[in-house]
């Protein structure tokens, strides 16, 4: 078992998780043959891509495993 001692350690884990989620969505889009959308997602800032995908293509975002809050 591990313990996160500092806020910076917690933030590093959160950022790594979000980065992995973005990569998973990009890979899913490529598997679906949607390479141009995958490239668009890849080029978007890490703090905005999820909201923009959900706002632009909500059903596609859902297929990629993203849920609106």
Inform me whether the pLDDT recorded for 39 exceeds 70.
Answer: yes
d(CA 44, CA 27): 15
Helix (H) or strand (E) holding 42: helix 35-43
d(CA 12, CA 40): 25
| Domain presence at residue 68 | no
pLDDT at 43: 97
For 40-69, what is each residue's pLDDT tens digit? 999 999 999 999 999 999 999 999 998 866
Inform me whether the pLDDT recorded for 1 exceeds 60.
Answer: no
Q: Determine the structural domain holding residue 39 and report its residue range.
A: 7-63
DSSP letters for 13-27: HHHHHHHHHHHHHHH
Q: What pTM did the predictor assign?
A: 0.76
Distance from the Cα of residue 42 to its chain's centroid: 9
| Domain presence at residue 50 | yes
| Domain presence at residue 69 | no
| Domain presence at residue 2 | no
Q: What is the total count of domains within the chain?
A: 1
| Domain presence at residue 11 | yes
| Domain presence at residue 39 | yes
pLDDT at 9: 72
């Amino acid at each position: 078992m591990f313990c996160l001692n500092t806020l910076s350690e917690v933030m590093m884990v959160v950022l790594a998780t979000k980065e992995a989620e973005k990569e998973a969505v990009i890979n899913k889009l490529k598997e679906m043959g949607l390479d141009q959308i995958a490239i668009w997602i890849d080029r978007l800032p890490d703090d905005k891509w999820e909201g923009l995908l959900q706002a632009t293509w909500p059903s596609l975002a859902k297929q990629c495993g993203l849920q609106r809050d």
